[in-house]
Protein backbone atom coordinates (compact mmCIF):
# COMPACT_ATOMS: atom_id res chain seq x y z
CA UNK A 1 0.00 0.00 0.00
CA UNK A 2 1.16 3.51 -0.83
CA UNK A 3 0.08 6.07 1.75
CA UNK A 4 -0.97 8.52 -0.97
CA UNK A 5 -3.54 6.01 -2.22
CA UNK A 6 -4.64 4.67 1.16
CA UNK A 7 -7.77 5.39 3.16
CA UNK A 8 -6.26 6.15 6.54
CA UNK A 9 -8.00 9.29 7.80
CA UNK A 10 -5.65 10.43 10.56
CA UNK A 11 -6.83 13.17 12.94
CA UNK A 12 -4.48 15.95 14.08
CA UNK A 13 -5.46 15.65 17.73
CA UNK A 14 -6.91 13.13 20.12
CA UNK A 15 -10.72 13.24 19.93
CA UNK A 16 -12.11 14.79 23.11
CA UNK A 17 -14.94 12.27 23.48
CA UNK A 18 -12.56 9.32 23.95
CA UNK A 19 -11.58 8.56 27.54
CA UNK A 20 -9.25 5.59 27.22
CA UNK A 21 -6.15 5.10 25.09
CA UNK A 22 -7.49 2.46 22.74
CA UNK A 23 -10.57 4.49 21.91
CA UNK A 24 -8.50 7.65 21.33
CA UNK A 25 -5.96 5.89 19.16
CA UNK A 26 -8.46 3.97 17.08
CA UNK A 27 -10.31 7.17 16.24
CA UNK A 28 -7.12 9.16 15.82
CA UNK A 29 -5.47 6.88 13.28
CA UNK A 30 -8.72 6.13 11.48
CA UNK A 31 -9.28 2.51 12.45
CA UNK A 32 -12.96 2.96 13.27
CA UNK A 33 -15.70 5.52 12.90
CA UNK A 34 -18.77 5.70 15.09
CA UNK A 35 -21.97 5.42 13.11
CA UNK A 36 -24.38 5.66 16.06
CA UNK A 37 -24.11 5.10 19.81
CA UNK A 38 -22.08 1.92 20.38
CA UNK A 39 -22.10 1.03 16.67
CA UNK A 40 -18.98 1.43 14.55
CA UNK A 41 -17.76 1.13 11.02
CA UNK A 42 -14.41 -0.58 10.73
CA UNK A 43 -12.15 1.41 8.41
CA UNK A 44 -9.39 -0.34 6.45
CA UNK A 45 -6.67 -0.10 9.11
CA UNK A 46 -8.89 -1.34 11.96
CA UNK A 47 -10.51 -3.97 9.81
CA UNK A 48 -7.13 -5.34 8.83
CA UNK A 49 -6.06 -5.79 12.46
CA UNK A 50 -9.37 -7.41 13.36
CA UNK A 51 -9.07 -9.85 10.44
CA UNK A 52 -5.57 -10.84 11.52
CA UNK A 53 -6.83 -11.50 15.05
CA UNK A 54 -9.73 -13.50 13.63
CA UNK A 55 -7.32 -15.66 11.63
CA UNK A 56 -5.33 -16.59 14.73
CA UNK A 57 -8.49 -17.29 16.72
CA UNK A 58 -9.72 -19.52 13.87
CA UNK A 59 -6.45 -21.45 13.56
CA UNK A 60 -6.45 -22.25 17.27
CA UNK A 61 -10.09 -23.40 17.15
CA UNK A 62 -9.33 -25.68 14.22
CA UNK A 63 -6.28 -27.06 15.99
CA UNK A 64 -8.45 -28.59 18.77
CA UNK A 65 -10.81 -30.09 16.21
CA UNK A 66 -13.59 -27.49 16.30
CA UNK A 67 -15.47 -27.06 13.01
CA UNK A 68 -16.47 -23.69 11.64
CA UNK A 69 -19.96 -22.89 10.42
CA UNK A 70 -21.88 -19.65 10.10
CA UNK A 71 -25.18 -18.86 11.75
CA UNK A 72 -27.18 -15.75 10.87
CA UNK A 73 -27.25 -12.56 12.91
CA UNK A 74 -31.07 -12.46 12.87
CA UNK A 75 -32.85 -15.21 14.78
CA UNK A 76 -36.45 -16.20 15.34
CA UNK A 77 -37.85 -15.71 18.85
CA UNK A 78 -39.34 -19.24 18.81
CA UNK A 79 -36.27 -21.07 20.04
CA UNK A 80 -35.67 -18.45 22.72
CA UNK A 81 -39.19 -19.03 23.98
CA UNK A 82 -38.44 -22.75 24.10
CA UNK A 83 -35.35 -22.22 26.25
CA UNK A 84 -37.14 -19.68 28.43
CA UNK A 85 -34.60 -16.96 27.77
CA UNK A 86 -36.78 -14.74 25.57
CA UNK A 87 -38.18 -12.91 28.57
CA UNK A 88 -35.22 -13.50 30.84
CA UNK A 89 -32.67 -11.80 28.57
CA UNK A 90 -34.33 -8.44 29.10
CA UNK A 91 -33.60 -5.15 27.43
CA UNK A 92 -30.14 -6.08 26.19
CA UNK A 93 -31.82 -8.06 23.43
CA UNK A 94 -32.70 -6.10 20.31
CA UNK A 95 -36.14 -7.28 19.25
CA UNK A 96 -37.37 -6.79 15.70
CA UNK A 97 -40.66 -7.48 13.92
CA UNK A 98 -40.65 -8.53 10.26
CA UNK A 99 -43.37 -7.56 7.74
CA UNK A 100 -45.45 -10.62 8.71
CA UNK A 101 -45.36 -9.36 12.27
CA UNK A 102 -43.13 -12.24 13.34
CA UNK A 103 -40.94 -11.66 16.37
CA UNK A 104 -37.30 -11.75 15.41
CA UNK A 105 -34.17 -10.65 17.22
CA UNK A 106 -30.58 -9.72 16.52
CA UNK A 107 -28.60 -12.52 18.19
CA UNK A 108 -26.76 -11.57 21.39
CA UNK A 109 -25.40 -15.15 21.60
CA UNK A 110 -26.23 -18.49 19.97
CA UNK A 111 -26.85 -21.31 22.48
CA UNK A 112 -30.44 -21.78 21.31
CA UNK A 113 -29.75 -21.65 17.59
CA UNK A 114 -26.82 -24.06 17.68
CA UNK A 115 -28.80 -26.48 19.86
CA UNK A 116 -31.63 -26.35 17.33
CA UNK A 117 -29.18 -27.09 14.50
CA UNK A 118 -27.65 -29.93 16.49
CA UNK A 119 -30.92 -31.59 17.54
CA UNK A 120 -32.27 -31.65 13.99
CA UNK A 121 -29.55 -33.96 12.76
CA UNK A 122 -27.56 -35.64 15.52
CA UNK A 123 -29.34 -38.62 17.04
CA UNK A 124 -26.65 -40.96 18.30
CA UNK A 125 -23.79 -40.83 20.77
CA UNK A 126 -21.65 -42.16 17.93
CA UNK A 127 -21.52 -38.67 16.39
CA UNK A 128 -20.15 -37.13 19.58
CA UNK A 129 -18.25 -35.10 20.54
CA UNK A 130 -19.15 -32.17 18.31
CA UNK A 131 -17.28 -28.89 18.67
CA UNK A 132 -18.82 -26.20 16.48
CA UNK A 133 -18.02 -22.51 16.23
CA UNK A 134 -18.67 -19.43 14.21
CA UNK A 135 -17.29 -15.91 14.06
CA UNK A 136 -20.18 -13.54 13.69
CA UNK A 137 -21.52 -10.13 14.70
CA UNK A 138 -23.55 -9.94 17.88
CA UNK A 139 -25.83 -7.23 19.17
CA UNK A 140 -26.41 -6.39 22.81
CA UNK A 141 -28.26 -3.23 23.62
CA UNK A 142 -25.85 -2.27 26.41
CA UNK A 143 -27.22 0.33 28.81
CA UNK A 144 -24.06 2.40 28.64
CA UNK A 145 -21.95 1.65 25.59
CA UNK A 146 -18.50 3.13 26.22
CA UNK A 147 -14.78 3.03 25.50
CA UNK A 148 -15.25 2.65 21.76
CA UNK A 149 -15.30 -0.93 20.56
CA UNK A 150 -14.48 -2.25 24.05
CA UNK A 151 -18.07 -2.06 25.24
CA UNK A 152 -20.22 -1.42 22.24
CA UNK A 153 -23.57 -2.67 21.04
CA UNK A 154 -22.61 -4.40 17.83
CA UNK A 155 -19.44 -6.47 18.19
CA UNK A 156 -17.64 -9.37 16.55
CA UNK A 157 -17.37 -12.56 18.54
CA UNK A 158 -16.10 -16.06 18.13
CA UNK A 159 -18.52 -18.36 19.88
CA UNK A 160 -18.06 -22.10 20.07
CA UNK A 161 -20.33 -24.81 21.45
CA UNK A 162 -19.54 -28.34 22.57
CA UNK A 163 -21.85 -31.37 22.65
CA UNK A 164 -20.92 -34.47 24.62
CA UNK A 165 -22.35 -37.69 25.92
CA UNK A 166 -21.31 -37.35 29.59
CA UNK A 167 -19.95 -34.91 32.14
CA UNK A 168 -16.55 -36.51 31.84
CA UNK A 169 -16.41 -36.12 28.07
CA UNK A 170 -17.80 -32.60 28.31
CA UNK A 171 -15.04 -31.64 30.70
CA UNK A 172 -12.52 -32.87 28.15
CA UNK A 173 -14.10 -30.54 25.58
CA UNK A 174 -14.02 -27.68 28.09
CA UNK A 175 -10.35 -28.30 28.71
CA UNK A 176 -9.58 -28.29 24.98
CA UNK A 177 -10.97 -24.79 24.75
CA UNK A 178 -9.09 -23.83 27.92
CA UNK A 179 -5.86 -24.81 26.13
CA UNK A 180 -6.82 -23.21 22.86
CA UNK A 181 -7.53 -19.89 24.61
CA UNK A 182 -4.14 -19.88 26.32
CA UNK A 183 -2.50 -20.47 22.95
CA UNK A 184 -4.60 -17.89 21.12
CA UNK A 185 -3.83 -15.09 23.56
CA UNK A 186 -0.16 -16.00 23.64
CA UNK A 187 0.04 -15.62 19.86
CA UNK A 188 -1.48 -12.17 20.30
CA UNK A 189 1.35 -11.42 22.78
CA UNK A 190 -1.15 -11.06 25.60
CA UNK A 191 -0.96 -12.55 29.06
CA UNK A 192 -4.54 -13.61 29.65
CA UNK A 193 -5.24 -15.20 33.02
CA UNK A 194 -8.06 -17.71 33.37
CA UNK A 195 -10.10 -16.66 36.38
CA UNK A 196 -12.87 -18.52 38.13
CA UNK A 197 -16.02 -16.73 37.09
CA UNK A 198 -19.72 -16.50 37.71
CA UNK A 199 -21.82 -18.10 35.06
CA UNK A 200 -24.26 -15.17 34.78
CA UNK A 201 -27.17 -15.32 32.33
CA UNK A 202 -25.61 -18.24 30.44
CA UNK A 203 -25.94 -20.31 33.61
CA UNK A 204 -24.10 -23.49 34.56
CA UNK A 205 -21.49 -25.15 36.68
CA UNK A 206 -17.97 -24.31 35.59
CA UNK A 207 -16.67 -21.12 34.09
CA UNK A 208 -13.47 -19.17 33.49
CA UNK A 209 -13.00 -15.64 32.28
CA UNK A 210 -9.77 -14.90 30.45
CA UNK A 211 -8.57 -11.52 31.61
CA UNK A 212 -5.65 -9.32 30.64
CA UNK A 213 -4.37 -6.75 33.09
CA UNK A 214 -5.11 -3.12 32.27
CA UNK A 215 -5.85 -0.12 34.47
CA UNK A 216 -8.66 0.84 32.14
CA UNK A 217 -10.34 -2.57 32.38
CA UNK A 218 -13.84 -2.91 33.75
CA UNK A 219 -13.30 -6.13 35.70
CA UNK A 220 -11.90 -5.90 39.20
CA UNK A 221 -9.58 -8.83 39.83
CA UNK A 222 -7.90 -10.47 42.79
CA UNK A 223 -5.09 -12.82 42.00
CA UNK A 224 -2.00 -14.65 43.10
CA UNK A 225 0.91 -13.22 41.12
CA UNK A 226 2.47 -16.63 40.67
CA UNK A 227 -0.20 -17.49 38.12
CA UNK A 228 1.64 -15.22 35.65
CA UNK A 229 4.58 -17.64 35.55
CA UNK A 230 2.47 -20.51 34.23
CA UNK A 231 2.14 -21.56 30.59
CA UNK A 232 0.65 -24.33 28.51
CA UNK A 233 3.96 -25.63 27.14
CA UNK A 234 4.03 -29.36 26.66
CA UNK A 235 0.27 -29.88 27.02
CA UNK A 236 -1.11 -32.51 24.69
CA UNK A 237 -4.69 -32.74 23.49
CA UNK A 238 -5.52 -35.71 25.67
CA UNK A 239 -7.66 -36.01 28.78
CA UNK A 240 -5.01 -36.34 31.45
CA UNK A 241 -2.66 -33.69 30.14
CA UNK A 242 -5.44 -31.10 29.74
CA UNK A 243 -6.96 -31.80 33.15
CA UNK A 244 -3.51 -31.27 34.66
CA UNK A 245 -3.15 -28.01 32.78
CA UNK A 246 -6.42 -26.61 34.12
CA UNK A 247 -5.63 -27.81 37.65
CA UNK A 248 -2.22 -26.17 37.44
CA UNK A 249 -3.93 -22.81 36.91
CA UNK A 250 -6.74 -23.46 39.38
CA UNK A 251 -4.20 -24.05 42.14
CA UNK A 252 -3.69 -20.29 42.31
CA UNK A 253 -6.33 -17.90 43.55
CA UNK A 254 -7.54 -15.76 40.64
CA UNK A 255 -11.09 -14.36 40.62
CA UNK A 256 -13.14 -11.38 39.52
CA UNK A 257 -15.10 -9.38 42.10
CA UNK A 258 -18.25 -11.49 41.68
CA UNK A 259 -16.41 -14.46 43.15
CA UNK A 260 -14.17 -12.53 45.49
CA UNK A 261 -14.00 -13.54 49.10
CA UNK A 262 -11.64 -11.63 51.37
CA UNK A 263 -11.04 -14.50 53.78
CA UNK A 264 -10.18 -16.94 51.01
CA UNK A 265 -7.89 -14.45 49.34
CA UNK A 266 -5.94 -13.80 52.52
CA UNK A 267 -5.86 -17.45 53.52
CA UNK A 268 -4.79 -18.82 50.14
CA UNK A 269 -2.38 -16.15 48.93
CA UNK A 270 0.73 -15.13 50.89
CA UNK A 271 0.81 -11.35 51.30
CA UNK A 272 3.71 -10.79 48.90
CA UNK A 273 1.88 -12.50 46.07
CA UNK A 274 -1.46 -10.73 46.43
CA UNK A 275 -2.47 -8.55 43.52
CA UNK A 276 -5.64 -6.49 43.35
CA UNK A 277 -6.07 -4.68 40.08
CA UNK A 278 -8.22 -4.28 37.01
CA UNK A 279 -8.50 -6.20 33.79
CA UNK A 280 -10.25 -6.63 30.48
CA UNK A 281 -12.30 -9.73 29.78
CA UNK A 282 -11.26 -11.04 26.37
CA UNK A 283 -12.73 -14.52 26.57
CA UNK A 284 -15.21 -16.52 28.61
CA UNK A 285 -15.85 -20.26 28.73
CA UNK A 286 -18.78 -22.06 30.36
CA UNK A 287 -19.82 -25.60 31.09
CA UNK A 288 -23.56 -25.86 31.69
CA UNK A 289 -24.55 -29.50 31.15
CA UNK A 290 -28.15 -29.85 29.95
CA UNK A 291 -29.29 -26.29 30.69
CA UNK A 292 -30.27 -25.79 27.04
CA UNK A 293 -30.41 -29.33 25.70
CA UNK A 294 -33.17 -30.23 28.18
CA UNK A 295 -35.70 -27.49 27.43
CA UNK A 296 -34.84 -27.68 23.74
CA UNK A 297 -35.04 -31.46 23.80
CA UNK A 298 -31.65 -32.19 22.28
CA UNK A 299 -30.95 -35.80 23.17
CA UNK A 300 -29.00 -38.71 21.72
CA UNK A 301 -29.24 -42.50 21.93
CA UNK A 302 -26.74 -43.90 24.43
CA UNK A 303 -24.79 -47.19 23.96
CA UNK A 304 -27.29 -49.23 26.04
CA UNK A 305 -30.28 -47.94 24.09
CA UNK A 306 -31.37 -45.32 26.60
CA UNK A 307 -31.67 -41.67 25.59
CA UNK A 308 -30.18 -38.66 27.36
CA UNK A 309 -29.81 -34.94 26.87
CA UNK A 310 -26.42 -33.87 25.56
CA UNK A 311 -24.01 -32.02 27.83
CA UNK A 312 -23.04 -28.66 26.48
CA UNK A 313 -20.55 -25.86 26.95
CA UNK A 314 -20.05 -22.51 25.25
CA UNK A 315 -16.88 -20.58 24.60
CA UNK A 316 -16.61 -16.92 23.56
CA UNK A 317 -13.78 -14.68 22.43
CA UNK A 318 -14.33 -10.96 21.90
CA UNK A 319 -12.58 -10.65 18.54
CA UNK A 320 -13.39 -6.96 18.06
CA UNK A 321 -12.76 -6.13 21.73
CA UNK A 322 -9.31 -7.67 21.37
CA UNK A 323 -8.26 -4.92 18.96
CA UNK A 324 -8.75 -2.38 21.77
CA UNK A 325 -7.42 -4.71 24.44
CA UNK A 326 -4.13 -5.14 22.58
CA UNK A 327 -3.75 -1.37 22.37
CA UNK A 328 -4.40 -1.03 26.11
CA UNK A 329 -1.72 -3.66 26.74
CA UNK A 330 0.90 -2.50 24.22
CA UNK A 331 0.66 1.29 24.16
CA UNK A 332 3.66 3.03 25.67
CA UNK A 333 2.22 5.97 27.58
CA UNK A 334 5.56 7.62 28.27
CA UNK A 335 6.77 7.85 24.69
CA UNK A 336 3.27 8.01 23.19
CA UNK A 337 4.10 5.13 20.91
CA UNK A 338 2.03 2.11 19.96
CA UNK A 339 3.69 -1.13 18.94
CA UNK A 340 1.46 -3.81 17.46
CA UNK A 341 2.49 -7.44 17.89
CA UNK A 342 3.85 -8.55 14.52
CA UNK A 343 1.13 -11.21 14.38
CA UNK A 344 -1.66 -8.63 14.02
CA UNK A 345 0.05 -5.39 13.01
CA UNK A 346 -1.91 -3.38 10.43
CA UNK A 347 1.35 -3.34 8.46
CA UNK A 348 4.53 -5.18 9.36
CA UNK A 349 6.96 -2.63 7.95
CA UNK A 350 6.73 1.01 6.92
CA UNK A 351 9.15 2.38 4.35
CA UNK A 352 9.83 6.01 5.07
CA UNK A 353 11.83 7.78 2.36
CA UNK A 354 13.17 11.27 2.71
CA UNK A 355 11.57 12.95 -0.26
CA UNK A 356 12.49 16.39 -1.51
CA UNK A 357 13.11 17.96 -4.86
CA UNK A 358 16.74 16.85 -4.99
CA UNK A 359 16.07 13.30 -3.92
CA UNK A 360 13.76 11.79 -6.50
CA UNK A 361 16.05 8.74 -6.40
CA UNK A 362 15.01 8.08 -2.80
CA UNK A 363 11.42 7.44 -3.87
CA UNK A 364 12.65 5.21 -6.72
CA UNK A 365 14.77 3.24 -4.30
CA UNK A 366 11.91 2.92 -1.82
CA UNK A 367 9.62 1.54 -4.53
CA UNK A 368 12.19 -1.12 -5.38
CA UNK A 369 12.45 -2.11 -1.73
CA UNK A 370 8.67 -2.11 -1.51
CA UNK A 371 8.36 -4.55 -4.42
CA UNK A 372 11.12 -6.74 -3.06
CA UNK A 373 9.41 -7.04 0.36
CA UNK A 374 5.99 -7.62 -1.22
CA UNK A 375 7.45 -10.54 -3.15
CA UNK A 376 8.67 -11.99 0.13
CA UNK A 377 5.12 -11.86 1.52
CA UNK A 378 5.82 -9.01 3.88
CA UNK A 379 2.93 -6.69 4.65
CA UNK A 380 4.47 -3.33 3.83
CA UNK A 381 3.33 0.28 3.50
CA UNK A 382 5.28 3.02 1.74
CA UNK A 383 4.97 6.66 2.69
CA UNK A 384 5.24 8.40 -0.68
CA UNK A 385 3.85 11.72 0.55
CA UNK A 386 6.02 14.83 0.71
CA UNK A 387 5.55 15.35 4.43
CA UNK A 388 8.79 15.89 6.30
CA UNK A 389 10.77 12.94 7.55
CA UNK A 390 10.12 13.35 11.26
CA UNK A 391 6.37 13.79 10.96
CA UNK A 392 6.26 10.63 8.84
CA UNK A 393 8.10 8.77 11.59
CA UNK A 394 5.74 10.17 14.21
CA UNK A 395 2.79 9.01 12.16
CA UNK A 396 3.98 5.40 12.01
CA UNK A 397 4.91 5.43 15.70
CA UNK A 398 1.35 6.51 16.38
CA UNK A 399 -0.19 3.87 14.10
CA UNK A 400 2.16 1.35 15.68
CA UNK A 401 3.75 -0.29 12.63
CA UNK A 402 6.37 -2.33 14.50
CA UNK A 403 9.24 -2.00 11.99
CA UNK A 404 10.40 0.91 9.88
CA UNK A 405 12.86 1.28 7.04
CA UNK A 406 14.26 4.79 7.01
CA UNK A 407 15.67 5.95 3.70
CA UNK A 408 17.15 9.18 4.91
CA UNK A 409 20.65 10.52 4.95
CA UNK A 410 21.91 7.56 6.98
CA UNK A 411 21.10 4.87 4.42
CA UNK A 412 24.14 4.36 2.17
CA UNK A 413 24.65 1.97 -0.69
CA UNK A 414 23.22 -1.41 0.13
CA UNK A 415 22.89 -0.74 3.85
CA UNK A 416 19.52 0.45 5.07
CA UNK A 417 18.50 2.01 8.35
CA UNK A 418 16.10 -0.39 10.02
CA UNK A 419 14.24 0.36 13.26
CA UNK A 420 12.11 -1.74 15.53
CA UNK A 421 9.89 0.61 17.54
CA UNK A 422 11.44 1.22 20.95
CA UNK A 423 14.90 -0.08 19.95
CA UNK A 424 18.05 1.42 18.46
CA UNK A 425 18.31 1.67 14.66
CA UNK A 426 20.46 -0.88 12.84
CA UNK A 427 22.24 -0.66 9.51
CA UNK A 428 21.29 -3.78 7.57
CA UNK A 429 21.09 -5.17 4.08
CA UNK A 430 17.69 -5.91 2.61
CA UNK A 431 18.35 -9.66 2.85
CA UNK A 432 19.11 -9.33 6.57
CA UNK A 433 15.87 -7.41 7.09
CA UNK A 434 13.82 -10.05 5.30
CA UNK A 435 15.52 -12.74 7.37
CA UNK A 436 14.67 -11.00 10.66
CA UNK A 437 11.04 -10.56 9.68
CA UNK A 438 10.47 -14.02 8.25
CA UNK A 439 12.07 -15.72 11.23
CA UNK A 440 9.86 -13.76 13.61
CA UNK A 441 6.77 -14.62 11.62
CA UNK A 442 7.61 -18.31 11.70
CA UNK A 443 7.46 -18.18 15.50
CA UNK A 444 3.96 -16.70 15.64
P1 LIG B 1 -18.89 -8.35 29.84
O2 LIG B 1 -18.78 -8.95 31.21
O3 LIG B 1 -17.65 -7.62 29.40
O4 LIG B 1 -20.15 -7.59 29.64
P5 LIG B 1 -20.05 -10.78 28.97
O6 LIG B 1 -19.64 -11.62 30.10
O7 LIG B 1 -21.42 -10.27 28.93
O8 LIG B 1 -19.01 -9.56 28.83
P9 LIG B 1 -19.82 -13.01 27.15
O10 LIG B 1 -21.23 -13.36 26.97
O11 LIG B 1 -18.98 -13.83 28.03
O12 LIG B 1 -19.71 -11.48 27.58
O13 LIG B 1 -19.17 -12.80 25.70
C14 LIG B 1 -17.92 -13.33 25.26
C15 LIG B 1 -16.92 -12.23 24.96
O16 LIG B 1 -17.47 -11.24 24.08
C17 LIG B 1 -16.50 -11.44 26.18
O18 LIG B 1 -15.47 -12.11 26.87
C19 LIG B 1 -16.03 -10.13 25.57
O20 LIG B 1 -14.67 -10.26 25.16
C21 LIG B 1 -16.90 -9.97 24.35
N22 LIG B 1 -17.98 -8.98 24.62
C23 LIG B 1 -19.06 -9.14 25.39
N24 LIG B 1 -19.83 -8.02 25.42
C25 LIG B 1 -19.20 -7.12 24.62
C26 LIG B 1 -19.48 -5.78 24.23
N27 LIG B 1 -20.57 -5.15 24.66
N28 LIG B 1 -18.62 -5.15 23.39
C29 LIG B 1 -17.52 -5.79 22.94
N30 LIG B 1 -17.20 -7.06 23.27
C31 LIG B 1 -18.00 -7.72 24.11
MG1 LIG C 1 -18.45 -12.97 30.07
What pLDDT is stored for residue 358 in this prediction? 59
Closest to 64 measured CA to CA, from 319, 236, 316: 236
Q: Which residue has the least CA distance to atom 2 on ligand 1?
A: 281
Q: Where are the alpha helices (DSSP H) in 285-399?
A: 319-330, 360-375, 389-399
Confidence at residue 252, expressed as pLDDT on a 0 to 100 scale: 96
Return d(Cα 75, Cα 45) in angstroms, integer: 31
Q: From the CA of 322, how far away is ligand 1's center (Å)?
A: 11
pLDDT tens-digit series, residues 123-163: 999 999 999 999 999 999 999 999 999 999 999 999 999 99
* Per-residue pLDDT reduced to its tens digit, 397-409: 999 999 999 987 6
In this prediction, residue 444 carries a pLDDT of 84
What pLDDT score does 204 carry? 59
pLDDT < 50 positions in the chain: none
Spell out which residues line ligand 1, taking CB within 6 angstroms: 109, 140, 142, 151-152, 155, 157, 281-284, 316, 318, 321
3-state secondary structure of 392: helix
Ligand 1 pocket test, candidate residues 316, 325, 327, most atoms within 8 A of CB: 316
Give exposure, 364-380, as e/b (b: 16+ Cβ within 10 Å).
Answer: ebbeebbeebeeeebbb
Strand pairing category for 307-309 and 311-318: unpaired
Question: Which pLDDT does position 334 carry in this prediction?
Answer: 86
Amino acid sequence: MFISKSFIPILKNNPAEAKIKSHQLMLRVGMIKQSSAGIYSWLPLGFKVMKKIEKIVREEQNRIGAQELLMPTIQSSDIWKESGRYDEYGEEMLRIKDRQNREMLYGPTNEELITEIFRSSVKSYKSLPQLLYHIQWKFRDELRPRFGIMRCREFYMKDAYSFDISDEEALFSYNKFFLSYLKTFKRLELTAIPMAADTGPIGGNLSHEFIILADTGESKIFTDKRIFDLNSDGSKIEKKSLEELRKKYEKFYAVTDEKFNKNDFEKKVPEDYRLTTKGIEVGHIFYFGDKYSKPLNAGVDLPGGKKDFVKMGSYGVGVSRLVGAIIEAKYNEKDEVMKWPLSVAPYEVAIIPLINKNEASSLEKSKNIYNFLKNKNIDVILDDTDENFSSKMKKFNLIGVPYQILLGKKSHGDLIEFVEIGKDPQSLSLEQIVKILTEQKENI
